[in-house]
Amino acid sequence: MLNFKEFQEYIKNNVKDYLPESYKDADIQFRDVVKNNDVHLTGVMIKRENETLTPNIYINELYEKYSSGMNLDEIVGDIADLRIEHDPPEEAQSISSIFTNYEMVKQRLEIHLCDMELNRDKLKNQVYTEQGDFAATYHIKIGGDGMLRGSAAVTPNLLKGWGITEEQLREDSLRAEHSKGAVFTDIEELVAEKTFGLKTTNLLDKQNDIIDNGDGFSLYCLTCEEKRYGASMILREDVMDKVSKLMGGDFYILPSSIHETLIVPTTTQMTLEDMSIMVQYVNKEAVEPEDKLSDKVQFYDSKAMVIENAKKRESRLAMEKANTKTTSIHQKLQTNKQKKGNIVSETKRTSSRIINNSSGCMNVWPLLFFWRKLKQ
C-alpha cells in the first residue's frame, strides 16, 4: 500500500489521463491548508495556464478510502471529475484582479467567527479582531450569483497593500454584513421545515413584542439568509438589540456552528451546566469538525449590550456577591460582636454552591440533535 506521499505522486503522475486535452500542460501542486479549528488538510491544485482561480481538491478523505480498499485509479478518476465539475467560469477568473482594489473588495467583505483557542495556527496569517472567546476574521467573497461560492481570507499582506487600518476593515466588513440578511427562527419551525417543507417565520420581522412564552423550553436559531457563516450575526448590534427585545431582555447564546448560533431565553429551565453539556455533546456527535464554532456558552447583557462567556460571568457574579457578603459581615462585626456565630454560619451558607439538577435540557436536547442531523 502506498504511503501518503506516494499517494500524492501517483495522483500527480496519472490524473491528466482522466482530464480533457485542455489540461495537458496544467501545473499540478499540493498544498497544506489550515482550515477552521486548525484542521490540517492537503489539497491538490490542477492549474491551467492563465488561470487565476483554481479549486483546491482535498485528498485526505480520499486517502482514507484508498486505505480502506478503494481502487486507486477510481480515486484518481474521481479527482479529475471534481476538477472538471468545479472549474470556475471565465467571469470568475477576473474576480482575483479586484484583490488589489480595496474600493471593489469592500463590497465583497464578510466576517467569519471562530474560537480563539481552537484556531491558533489558522490565525497566524489572518487579520482578526478578538471578540471575547471568539476571533472575527475577514474574508473576500468569491463567486455567487450562480457561480461556485468561496472566499479568501484577508491576510496582513493584503491589508498592507490596501493601505488601510484594521479598524477600517472591521467597520467596512460590519457594514457589508448587513447585505447577508439576518434570520431569527424558532427551532421547532426549522425542524418542521426540514421534515415537512413548511415555511418558517423570520421573527425579526415582528414588532418588538416579547415572543418567549416562558415555558422554559424555548430555543431559537440566529443565522443569515444564505445560512453560510451566519454565526457572525451576533456581532451586529442592531440584530442583537432586536433579539433582546423579542426575548424580553438578556439571553444565552449557544455556539452551534460557524453557520448559526442558538438563542436561549433566561427563562429556560436548563442550568448553565445543562447548556454546556448539550453544546459539547451536539458539537461532538452532529457537527463536522470544520463547522464547529465553540463549546463555550455565551451570555448577552442587553443593558450593557455585550457578550460574555457565561461561565466566567457566573463566577464573576458569585465573587462579587461573596465580596458584598464579606463587607456586610465586617460591618456587622464592628457593630455587634455578639452575632459572630450567626455571621460565620451565614458566611458558610453564602460560600456553598447550590446545584440545580434541572432536567429541562432533556426536552430541548432531542429536538436540537434531530435538527442537527437533518442539516447534514
pLDDT in tens, 90-109: 656 666 677 889 999 999 99
Of residues 54 and 113, the one with the higher pLDDT is: 113
Instruction: State the pLDDT at residue 168.
Output: 97
High-pLDDT (> 70) share of the chain, %: 82
DSSP E strands in the chain: the ranges are 27-34, 40-47, 57-58, 109-115, 128-131, 134-144, 147-153, 182-186, 220-224, 251-257, 260-265, 298-301, 306-309
315-334 average pLDDT score: 75
Instruction: State the pLDDT at residue 115.
Output: 98
Instruction: State the pLDDT at residue 348.
Output: 34
Crossing angle between the packed helical segments 272-286 and 310-335, to the nearest 10 degrees:
160
135-152 average pLDDT score: 79
Q: CA-based diameter of the chain, in Å?
A: 97
Instruction: State the pLDDT at residue 210.
Output: 83
Instruction: State the pLDDT at residue 360.
Output: 38
Reference 261, options 213, 310, 215, 214; nearest CA is 310
225-252 average pLDDT score: 96
pLDDT per residue as tens digits for the range 350-364:
222 222 333 334 445
Cβ–Cβ under 8 Å, residues 138 and 154: yes
Cβ–Cβ under 8 Å, residues 47 and 23: no
Average per-residue pLDDT for the chain: 86
* DSSP bridge partners of 330: none
How many other C-beta atoms can be found within 10 angstroms of the C-beta atom of residue 19? Answer: 18
Which range among 161-165, 333-337, 349-353, 358-362 shows the weakest confidence by mean pLDDT?
Answer: 349-353
330-352 average pLDDT score: 46
pLDDT per residue as tens digits for the range 254-280:
999 999 999 999 999 999 999 999 999
Model confidence at 203: pLDDT above 50: yes
Backbone angles phi, psi at 251, to 5 degrees: -160, 165
Model confidence at 52: pLDDT above 90: no
Instruction: State the pLDDT at residue 327.
Output: 60
- Which pLDDT band holds residue 347 (cuts at 50, 70, 90)? very low
In 3-state terms the chain splits into helix, strand, coil percentages (rounded to 5) of 50, 20, 30
Torsion, Cα 289 88 51 40, to 10 degrees, reads 10
293-305 average pLDDT score: 97
Q: Read off the pTM.
A: 0.83
Sequence-separated (6 or more) residues with CB below 8 Å from residue 92:
53, 142, 143, 147, 148
Model confidence at 349: pLDDT above 70: no
High-pLDDT (> 90) share of the chain, %: 67
310-336 average pLDDT score: 78
